[in-house]
Structures are given as structure tokens and as C-alpha cells.
Structure 1
Amino acid sequence: MTLDQDQNQPNNETNEDKQTDSNQNGKIDRPGRQFYIPSQIVDEFGEKGRDHLNKPFRAQFLLALTAGSFMTFGAVFSILLASGVETKGIYHLLSGLGFASGYAMVFISGSVLFTEINVLLPSYLFNKSGLMKANIYKFWISSYIGNILGAFLVAVLIQFSASLSDPFYSELSMYLDHKMKFLDHGVKGWFEILVSGILANWLIGMAAFLTTAARDITGKFLGTMLPVILFVAGNFQHSAANMGYFSMGFLANDNYTWYEYIFFNLLPASIGNLIGGGILVSLLFSYAYKEDIQTSLGKS
């Protein structure tokens, strides 16, 4: 998209969205929509996926580090908000609101989160040939590694700051036990995490969907919060979120080892997240609105 096209886009959207009725008394202007329709959202997913992919590697990796750091901040805030709350409903609500702050920072800042890329990139690829290009998979892997390193870096800084009290770490241990409960189920537990990961990124994909649909900052925050609260309350396994919790847990206690975190949670959750975001959000809506999508993706 050229600079002139970009500058003209708001005017074009206003003209498209404004409906005018005429009668004997003259014209009546109706306000335009305050959100994008689904086909526009899928098209925007593809545009964002292309923009991320075309960034220099240093920018991709730095934005991945930033996104991972926001996950640890979100994890910490979710624990702080819900700590000491006895009523389950309010506990889940506050915990979800806390973590939604991390996702809001990711979505608004344009940071590169592995689980969001699982929605954006497939939307780009489904409208363009060339799935086997090496830079696509390099980007996918670098975003995952960058998210882990960013989450761990913030956890280290928080630990060195000595800002958090003992009740926080007691609550953190409870969170970790809740997320690692599948460890006792063996192979069955591994596949349970995978299915839980599908559900988690289906919801986060819809958070990206709702956030993209909104045209104002308030709508973007609300669109982020609702699916995030649901996945946190349901204990659905979201790899990016768990990176924040596990980074804090790894430094705070020795209840679980690093390979248990990675191989018995992050790995199956990541596979599930890829399926949930790539198939149940990106592919599903791309196919459903295929005829409606007006996109320049893949065109020179």
C-alpha cells in the first residue's frame, strides 16, 4: 500500500460506511459503522501478517522479545489482582482482567506474539501461494524463541527488584500447580494439553478478531478482555501466557523443572495453539468469506 493510498483510506472508509437517505425534506446522514465487518477483518489479518513478515529480522526479533515481556507482566498482574479473593467468579474475572493487560499491550503496540502470528500469517498464506518459503518458518521460530526470552528477561528483572511479597509467590505456586496438573496423566495428559491449547488460541484468535474489528481504543480493549477472561477462567493452555507464569515459577521455586515446563506443557500447548488459531480462526473465516475478501495480498 502506497503512502497516498494509506492517507486516503480513512476517507474511503467514511464514504463507504456513510448511508444517505433522501426524501422530500432533503438528505439524512446516518453515521458510519464503528467496526469492521468480518471480511474486512480477515483481509486486515492478511495485511498484518504480510507486514510482520516483511520487517527486517532485527525488528521481528525485538518485537517478539517485547511481546514475551508483556506476557510476564500480564501473568504477574493477574496474580496480584486475584490474590486473596475467595469467590471463584470474581477470582476468575480479576485474574482474566489482569492478563488482558498483557494482551492489550501486545495488540496495540504491534508486538510479535507467537500465538497471534498463528492467526495472522495463515490468513496471509491462504490468500497467496508460496507456503514453502524459508523466511516464513524462520519468522515463526524466531517469534517463539523471542517470546520465551522476553518473558524470562522480565521475570529476572522482577526477581532482582525484590518488589513482590511472599503471598504473591504462594499464589504463583497455586497457579503453576493448576497449569501442570496434566503432568500426572501421562500420555493422556499430553494430548489433553494439546486439545486445551486448541481451545485457548481459538479464543485468543477471536480476541485478535474483535480487537481488529474495533476502530477506537476503547473497543480494542473490550475486544481483548472478553476472550482472555474466558480462557484464563477455563484454564485453557495458552503457550504465550504460560511462558510468563513459567518464567516466574522457574526462578521462584523448584517444584517443576525446565524440561517439564517445556516438554509437558509448552510443546503440546503450542501445537494446539497453532491448530486453534490457524484452522479454527484463520482458515475457517478465510474460506467462509472468500468471495467477499477484496485483497491485494500476493500482488506486486
Structure 2
Amino acid sequence: MSEKEKEEEREDNENRETNQNSSEIDRPGRQFYIPSQIVDEFGEKGRDHLRQPFGSQFLLALTAGSFMTFGAIFSILLAEGVETQGIFYLLSGLGFAAGYAMVFISGAVLFTEINVLLPSYLFNKANLMKVNIYKFWASTYIGNILGAVMVAVLIEVSSSLNAEFYTELSSYLDKKMKFMDHGVKGWFEVVVSGILANWLIGMAAFLTTAARDITGKILGTTLPVILFVAGNFQHSAANMGYFSMGVLASDKYSWYEYILFNLIPASIGNLIGGGILVSLLFSYAYKDDIQTSLGKKKKY
């Protein structure tokens, strides 16, 4: 055997030994889901929501809307009286994140979350019963509004909040409704702002789904929520909480102005932001990696 052959044999033996040792290493499991698994989870959650009885769907939508009003109130209370802008935005965002954390962890059904879950289901399954999907979408939206109003009424009846709260609430409402002064241009500005808002909330759902423990889920929810609150991006479900309090506490804006000049265009933007920029984008990017149990076979 030549010297060269001996050297090659020695290298082969070393490689086999290294591979054997590597296979015996006890590697810890990942503490998060990878993106393709997250998209798959989105689709399965969307399917699970659709399979629930209508009564359960509607009650969970009411609950989610209730949490939005609690989040709106907490965002105002935490930041009340804070004059440093950065700290104000941080505290306000943290307050609203409490409402979203309750939604995501409890399994409540929020309109802007299903804008991510249902498209993921649609993009990964054929032969859908579309009537059921549209009915679910509509009932969730109505349920969220009713839940938000219900909590606002209870809070008003309780007389728990002080005058400073309502002064701060008025400034929040002015920020939400400032687009009304821009006419038609302002209406489309709300649409674009809604796209940005639900892009971020879609990523909150993405990060929350990725986490495999309660701490990670809360943190994953908090960061995008702080960003959308600080940016004054128009998120229809969040605004339901603020507007429910505003209708009862002030006559500066009427209920139809809240709906026509904010909720409707914001909701359109939210559908685009969640469905296209999160669900469709990631479904397409990871289409070859998604191992789905939704009924669509993977192509090889």
C-alpha cells in the first residue's frame, strides 16, 4: 500500500469516528418553531376555528372584543401623565399588549388575527366551503364590536375611572380620527395605515406561535404591539376598544364617523396586511417546507 493510500485510509477512519461521535451527542430541542411550522400552525388554527359551533365562535369573538377594551383602557392608564414621548409610547404599547396576550393565550377569536389564520388555511387547502368562512369572518367582526361595547358600558356604569383618564382618552381619539380632516385622501391613508397595523399584528401572531412557553408568547406579542401603538397605525380591533369608550364618554365624534372614517378603511387595510403580507407571503416562501395536515398533499 502506497503512502498516499495509507493517508487516505487514515482520513476515512477519522471521518467515520467523527460522524459516529456527532450522532451520539445529545442536542437540546429547539425552544421555538421554525417559520414553515408556524405557517402550518396558522392553517390548523384557522381550520379549528371554523370547526367550532357557531355559538362558541361568537362567544370567543365577544371575549376578544372585551379584551380589546381592557387593553385600550390599560394603555391609557399606564401612560397617563407621562410627558417623555418615548416612555409614553412604551407604556401605552405595554398596556395594550396585555389585551392581545389575553386574546392569543385564551384562544379568543379576534378579527385581525383570523385575517392571518384563515388565509393560511385557504392557501393550503382546496375545495373550501366559502360560505362558512365568510359567515365566520362576519360574525367575528360583529362579535368583537359587541364585546368591546359591552365592557365599555360596564366600565362607565362602574364609575371607576377618573377625569384625567377621559382627558387622555380624548387625545387618543383625536390621533385616531385625524385622517378625517384629509377627506378622501385621509380615507385611503387609513387603509394604508391599517395594512401596516395588521402586518405587525400578524407578526405578533407569528412570534407568539413560534414560542413554546408562556414567557416567550407574551414577549412575542408585546414587541409588535408596542410598535403599532407608537406608530399610530390603524388597527380596527384595537380601535373598537378606544371608540367604544369614546362613544359613551364624549360627543366629539359620532358612532357613524368612527365606523365610516376609521373602522371600515382600517378593516380593509387589516385584511390586506394580515392576509397578503404575512399569510400569503410566508405560505409561498415556505411552500416546499410546509408539512400540512390540512388536506393538501405536498408535491415532490
Match of 2:85 in 1: 88
Does residue 265 in structure 1 map to residue 262 in structure 2? yes
Q: How do residues 82-231 of structure 1 correspond to structure 2 at under 5 angstroms?
A: 82-131=79-128, 133-231=130-228
Matches within 5 A, 1:49-60: 49-60=46-57
In the other structure, the counterpart of 1:292 is 289
Structure 2 unaligned blocks of 5 or more: 1-17
Retained in 1: the 8 A contact 2:124–2:296?
no
Match of 1:27 in 2: 24
Q: Deviations over 1:258-282 (max 9, x none)?
A: 0100000000000000000000000
Say if 1:92 and 1:233, in contact at 8 Å, map to a contact too: yes
User: What TM-score, normalized by structure 2, do the two folds share?
Assistant: 0.91
Equivalent of 2:43, from 46, 53, 57?
A: 46
1:59 Cα offset (Å) = 0.2
Number of positions where the alignment pairs a residue of Structure 1 with one of Structure 2: 280
Shift of 1:86: 0.6
- Equivalents in 2 of 1:177, 1:245: separation in Å? 11
> 2:245 matched to which residue of 1?
248
SS in 2 for 1:72: helix
Distance 1:271 1:30, change over 3 A: same
What is the CA-CA distance between 1:128 and the residue it aligns to? 1.2
Post-superposition shift, 1:28?
2.6
Residue type of the alignment partner of 1:248: M
Query: In the alignment, which residue of structure 2 is the partner of 1:72?
Result: 69
CA distance in 1, matches of 2:23, 2:103: 46
Is contact 1:22-1:28 (8 Å) kept? no
Are residues 89 and 25 of structure 1, via their aligned partners in 2, closer, same or farther at CA, if it must alter by over 3 Å?
closer
How far did residue 105 of structure 1 move? 0.2
Name whichever of 131-140 and 162-171 sits farther off.
Answer: 131-140
Letter in 1 for 2:59: L
Residue by residue over 1:31-57, the C-alpha shift from the partner in whole angstroms, topping out at 9 and shown as x without a partner, is 110000000000000000000001000
Gaps of 5+ in 1: 1-20
Cα distance in 1, alignment partners of residues 129 and 185 from structure 2: 33
Query: What is the identity percentage for the equivalent residue pairs of Structure 1 and Structure 2?
Result: 83
Which 4+ runs in 1 deviate beyond 4 A? 21-26
